[in-house]
Each structure stands twice: as structure tokens, then as C-alpha cells.
Amino acid sequence: MASRPALPARTARTAALAALLLAAGTACGGQDGAPTAEVAQQNPARDRIGTLSVRSADGPRACTASVVHSPRRNLLVTAAHCVQNHRIGLLDGLVFTPGYRNGSTPYGTWPVQVITVDPRWAADDDPEYDVAFVTVGPVDGQQVEDAVGGNPIGTGQGFGLSVSVTGYPNGSDEPITCAARTGSQSATQERFDCDGYTDGTSGSPWVTASGAVVGVIGGYQEGGDSPGTSYSITFDERVSELYRRATT
């Protein structure tokens, strides 16, 4: 596993990298008859989900991320392609804004410090390892999990799970959400059908009724190539090991 400090922002280069990563693809494939995501109503549990953007909350938007429980209370999960690309390396200067809505930043903006991806993703963008854990620094002496709480990571739970998926399309200042059921794309990739998950929603967490994160939009086709079907790698021992690396 690869744990690397995020580099300081370099203004012009960072904006260009963000554009390249976004152009690489960030969400979902269309499916006739699929439900459509709706604007997410405000909910304290959803405040654990936020935007990943460059330099500031109103900077270029990259993806969605969410707070997960960790010993140091400073960890996010997102898709690996949101934060690193084999051709251009790490995306510098990222910040996380939980609960962002219509320009409001109710919990502040948290600087990304360390990004942990599997070396097989780092080597050649292997879609079987398109998940990342991201450590953020404290704000005013407080860790992000202390501010908004965190969801546990759930692994080995199989397919056919009822989940809610909340994320931030780049074209909106409000998050969207959808209730869906996971299905098998392959033995190591899964999917759900719901329309509206466009660029920016990569990294959106798949959350069960018990609150466990069992996927993030990413994996196959870097999350999908149209807005109605989204993908994730199956959360199994690959994710358990990556989490262990990120928290030790």
C-alpha cells in the first residue's frame, strides 16, 4: 500500500490537474427505468459527506468524500481516481468541506494531508483498487470526526444490500441522494441503478441502514460512463488492508 503526503498546492498546475482528473471520468451509466436521485435534505448523518475541491470550498471541484471512523478521527474515504492518476500523480492542494450546501461551510474546510492508495492503483490505475483513504488535518484543534462523526467501514457483506448514496454533482451546489440496492457487476465489482450521478459524484459513499460504508462510486469505468448506473469495487480484504495501512 502507498501512503504519501499530499504536496503543497501549486495554483496553475493544480487547477490543470483537477481538470485532467475530472476529464478522466467520474460517474455512472444510464439505465432505462432506473429511479432518479433527488436533492438530499439536510440531515446530521449526511454532514459526514462533503466535497473534495482544490485550495478552498469554492475552488475547482474534484469529487465527493466522506468521514469514516478511525483511531485518530481524521480519515475520509473516496475513490482513488479522485486523488491520484498514474499519468500525473497526486492531485495537490485538496480540501474537504463536509455538509457543503449552497456556498455554506457549516463545519469549515479541512486540508488534505496524506493520501493512501494501493500500489496497484498507483502503478497503472487498476480499477480493482479504485479506492483511497485520505487523512485531513485538524481545524482549530479539532479533528473532523469530532465535528461531524464518522461511519464504520463495512467489508465482506456481499451483494443485494439496500444502500443510500449521497454525492455532489459538479453542476450543483446541493448534494443528491438515492436509495438503491447493490448488485453484482463481477465477483469483485458491484453496481446500483439510479439516474443523476454525474461528474463530481465519484467517491460518494454507499451507506447501509446500519451506517456502514460498503462502497464508493469508482472502480469499473471509474464509476461509470453515464449517469444511471454507478459502480464500486467490492469492499473486501483489499479495502480492509488499505484501511489498516491508512490507520497505522
Read off the pLDDT of residues 120-167 as tens digits, 9 standing for 90 and up.
999 999 999 999 999 999 999 999 999 999 999 999 999 999 999 999
Residue 12 scores a pLDDT above 70: no
Instruction: Give 106's contacts (C-beta < 8 A, 6+ positions apart).
Output: 47, 98, 99
The Cα 48–Cα 123 span in angstroms is 30
pTM: 0.88
Place 24 in a pLDDT band, splitting at 50, 70 and 90: very low
Q: What is the CA radius of gyration of the chain?
A: 16
φ, ψ dihedrals at 194, nearest 5°:
-170, 130
The one-letter amino acid code at 248 reads: T
The Cα 11–Cα 207 span in angstroms is 34
Alpha-carbon torsion (66, 70, 72, 73), positive or negative: positive
Is residue 161 within 8 Å of 208, Cβ to Cβ? yes
Residue 216 scores a pLDDT above 60: yes
pLDDT for residue 172: 92
Give percent of the chain with pLDDT exceeding 90. Answer: 79
CB atoms within 10 A of CB 52: 27
The Cα 242–Cα 248 span in angstroms is 10
β strands within 140-182, DSSP E: 162-167, 176-181
pLDDT for residue 87: 80
CB atoms within 10 A of CB 104: 11
Q: Domains plus CATH for the chain?
A: 2-246 (2.40.10.10)
Place 32 in a pLDDT band, splitting at 50, 70 and 90: low
Residue 190 scores a pLDDT above 80: yes
pLDDT for residue 9: 30
Cα end-to-end span (Å), the chain? 12
CB atoms within 10 A of CB 210: 10
Average of per-residue pLDDT values in the chain: 88
pLDDT digits (tens, 9 = 90+) for 217-246: 999 999 998 899 999 999 999 999 999 999
Residue 19 scores a pLDDT above 80: no
Residue 53 scores a pLDDT above 70: yes
CB atoms within 10 A of CB 160: 10
Query: What's the rounded mean pLDDT across residues 12-36?
Result: 49
Nearest to 217 by CA among 176, 247, 157: 176
The three three-digit cell numbers of residue 221, written as one number: 469505468
